[in-house]
Amino acid sequence: MAIDDLFRPLTVRSLTVPNRFAMAPMTRQASPGGVPGVDVAEYYRRRAAGGVGLIITEGVRLADPAAGYPTSIPTIAGDDVMAGWAGVVDAVHREGATIAAQLWHQGAERADTDGVVPVSPSGVDGHGKPKGRALQRDELSQVVDHYARAAASARDIGFDAVELHGAHGYLLDEFLWEKTNLRTDDYGGSLAARTRFPAEVVAGVRAAVGPEYPIIFRFSQWKGTDYAASIAADPGELTDLLGPLVTAGVDIFHPSTRRHYVPAFPDSGSDLSLAGWTKQVTGRPVIAVGSVGLQTQFRSEKPGQLIEPESADRLVAQFADGEFDIAALGRALLADPSWVNRLRDGTIDGFTGYDQEKALAALA
């Protein structure tokens, strides 16, 4: 299998991605008042023109004051906002790419400096410390409705898919993680119970967008507050975690890792990455992410730490082994919006992320 195989299209429900590369979601806080402007449209357009087949937007705040802060993070409610997003979608589509809106509720990780009280499963943050308040049982359906309305709005604007942010210690992930889900009702306790609310969100979104509109679900083992965290200790628990989400309507999984090639469960005797295991236990298409195209891992514990330089050969090998269907790039696309075109055209060696000497000089 050659690099050319990464430039074949992928169709999932109504979505056809022209190649196997995505832009990973990255928060920017560049939308004053929550309204994405022409600069936001240009930001995404450049990455689409640079060869990315699927743009996944920065996290988009639900239309609930408790969902996110600051207000410079875009939302998805209001005429000005909708018009702004329509401009973004049009700009990306003109370059031949597709685009998904990532729907985001920050949960207990929301800042509370504006007087709005953060809400979460149990009123504790990722450090296990009290913060905000716990969601009451009768409030959960309201949160589901916020997700559903946001997804329907994204579809109506022209987004090709939605992604539900269930990773990194935010609301949906706070339900999944036993450290932040201390509930004693049927939304807490066992892994099956902790998965219940995220599955209800997926089901609510599916009902709102219809049977053919693609739903992506992003999840992670690691959290912003704990790189060593885990919600699934082995492939069996991963199956139990993701199975209800498949049943509820997830079409594509986006397992977020800090290094896309690291074995997820080394004690199992397998070198499969988290993306590879996710695809194996769900049968769904998978987006791999985590230091793709770079030689420094995401948020290294040691400042300036270098890891083995990323190789296109390794990415191709993982794809050939069926570990993922799409590779998502983040920092590499910030450094060079044309990274994907470079790979296709054979000029990737000119990218700084592959140059050990340049990287070391930049860290000096």
Residue ranges covered by each domain of the chain? 3-363
Report the range of poorest mean pLDDT among 75-79, 220-224, 267-271: 267-271
> What single DSSP character describes residue 35?
-
pLDDT score recorded for residue 5: 93
State both tokens at 90: 């049009």
Structure confidence by residue, pLDDT tens digits, 157-175:
999 999 999 999 999 999 9
Distances (CA, A) of 263 to 269, 297, 318: 9, 15, 12
Structure confidence by residue, pLDDT tens digits, 293-331:
776 666 655 555 544 445 577 888 899 999 999 999 998
Residues designated as active site: 170
Query: Mean pLDDT over residues 27-37, rounded?
Result: 97
Sign of CA dihedral 61, 62, 66, 71: positive
CA-to-CA distance for 245 and 247, rounded, in angstroms?
Answer: 5
Answer whether the bond into residue 74 is a cis peptide, omega within 30°.
Answer: no
Sign of CA dihedral 230, 258, 298, 35: negative
Inter-residue contact 171 to 99 (CB < 8 Å): no
Between CA 69 and CA 71, with CA 70 as vertex, the angle to 5 degrees is 105
CA-to-CA distance for 205 and 96, rounded, in angstroms?
Answer: 26
Query: Mean pLDDT over residues 44-69, rounded?
Result: 97
Average pLDDT over all residues of the chain? 92
Sign of CA dihedral 13, 14, 20, 22: negative
Name the amino acid, one letter, at 308.
Answer: E
Q: CA torsion, points 297, 258, 285, 230, in degrees to nearest 10? A: 170
* CATH class of domain segment(s) 3-363: alpha beta
pTM for the structure as a whole = 0.94
Q: What share of the chain is helix, strand, coil (3-state, %, to 5)?
A: 40, 15, 40
Report the range of poorest mean pLDDT among 5-9, 63-67, 172-176, 339-343: 339-343
